[in-house]
Structure 1
């Protein structure tokens, strides 16, 4: 990591969608982010990774009900830590971030990730901060060959470009107020976040056609989007394959627990 890297504010997205979450219901907890994963509440591992990293100055947890975390013995430490602030989360991620930028004056730069990013590690944060530093917008992605080489049974949502098939790693860098327009577009397509082509199309016909005809690399496409919007937009191609494995489905939790168990074993065993 660069020695001059700015100290960022981390945003941990811990909200929940309306209705009953089947994962939370099966685990007997009120919200998904309190589900025990490898013996610890899901939110705890990414929160601790963020707070332990030298690039992170403080942590803002966005959630609809902060009391759930303060009242749960497994997560009460979050409410007690002076570096942690809870703020209300709206119905969508993008809208909540815009509200934060417009209403409270976001403390840029922001490093945004999700509370189900259980495998978030210091190595991931080292790479991401080093490569995102100075950008207006940086997006972490993992190329399919890298993931499948280690976890061939893992299922992700992929976008195909000239430089490979890519899946999101749920880590974003928002370097300054110029990212607001990009987040506003994200808000428009948020309901279709699993439909990659609608997201690409929102940034204009040139980018869409380039992606469909595979004329653009993902790196080149992001740079072009950035130039069109008057900002520096970058891809951070994550080296750890685990960066795009989040706890979204029961199979994901099984895989995450297997990875955590393997990493906890003494070397040589």
Structure 2
């Protein structure tokens, strides 16, 4: 982590929906999971608060539901129409807000400003795009029993933390790759296959690290990509299913 003065940034919160009934929203008794209450605040409000405390300038939210749109306006957020998928919504966000742009999701219920600050400080200076991940042992130490999807590499199993930084205009080149990856987000092996035969062999032999894989994918997209490891295991805990909501509600409140 460096002591450099942080670069001002804007932020985008993804709060679209895939259509149909969301089982999590139904479980919580709300119209959309962004409106779930935790410690008296909606998930969307909590995420926006964390971004503001971390120094975000303009904060936009990508929405597809009128009820979320109205809530976002009440929170003082800029509203963008959600595209057909998260990657395309990020592309629209970059077009509207420019770079650097920090991207997260409305279901990042436990997001803390210090996680954001640490993430941005740890990103290599030459990175066009960066993604935050947590190693499996760090996640399980912070949230025993939680079930996440892990990518297995030579340096451990890794879970995404729903936090991305698009640092330069060149980072838009990552959108097409993201669109491919999001189609396989629950099938890690298909993601790994995109590395090509040489790196795929290293992966199969247990010799490929996460950082090398991300850097290679970045080069394929024509940019510098970096994976940043977080020491905060709870950063990997988003609220995708009822068990996740039960977990975050069982945790002691974080002093503010």
TM-score, normalised to structure 1, is 0.86
* Equivalent residue number for residue 222 of structure 1: 214
Residue by residue over 1:159-192, the C-alpha shift from the partner in whole angstroms, topping out at 9 and shown as x without a partner, is 1100000000010111123222322022124222
Unaligned runs of 5+ in 1: none
Q: CA deviation at 1:264?
A: 4.5
Does structure 1 residue 112 correspond to structure 2 residue 103? yes
Contact 1:117-1:246 within 8 A present in 2 as well: yes
Pairing of 1:132-143 with structure 2 (within 5 A) = 132=123, 134=125, 135-143=127-135
**Residues 39, 106 of structure 1: alpha-carbon distance in 2 compared, 3 angstrom cutoff:** closer
Contact 2:177-2:221 within 8 A present in 1 as well: no
Q: Secondary structure at the match of 1:43?
A: helix
Q: CA deviation at 1:43?
A: 1.1
* Equivalent residue number for residue 121 of structure 2: 130
Q: CA deviation at 1:59?
A: 0.5
Contact 1:109-1:174 within 8 A present in 2 as well: yes
* Equivalent residue number for residue 88 of structure 1: 81
* Equivalent residue number for residue 143 of structure 2: 151
Does structure 1 residue 171 correspond to structure 2 residue 181? no
Residue by residue over 1:183-208, the C-alpha shift from the partner in whole angstroms, topping out at 9 and shown as x without a partner, is 20221242221111212223433333
**Residues 128, 77 of structure 1: alpha-carbon distance in 2 compared, 3 angstrom cutoff:** same
Q: CA deviation at 1:235?
A: 1.2
What CA distance in whole angstroms lies between the structure 1 residues aligned with 2:254 and 2:143? 15
What CA distance in whole angstroms lies between the structure 1 residues aligned with 2:88 and 2:175? 8
Contact 2:34-2:68 within 8 A present in 1 as well: no
Moved more, 17-26 or 153-162: 17-26
* Equivalent residue number for residue 263 of structure 1: 254
Q: Aligned-pair RMSD on alpha carbons?
A: 2.1
Contact 2:173-2:222 within 8 A present in 1 as well: no
Contact 2:173-2:223 within 8 A present in 1 as well: no
Q: CA deviation at 1:149?
A: 2.0
Pairing of 1:171-210 with structure 2 (within 5 A) = 171-210=163-202
What CA distance in whole angstroms lies between the structure 1 residues aligned with 2:131 and 2:41? 28
Q: CA deviation at 1:118?
A: 0.9
Does structure 1 residue 57 correspond to structure 2 residue 57? yes
How many pairs were matched up? 254
What CA distance in whole angstroms lies between the structure 2 residues aligned with 1:210 and 1:179? 27
What CA distance in whole angstroms lies between the structure 2 residues aligned with 1:46 and 1:25? 21
Residue by residue over 1:9-54, the C-alpha shift from the partner in whole angstroms, topping out at 9 and shown as x without a partner, is 1110011111000121232321111112233211111111001212
* Equivalent residue number for residue 242 of structure 2: 250
Unaligned runs of 5+ in 2: none
Contact 2:195-2:213 within 8 A present in 1 as well: no
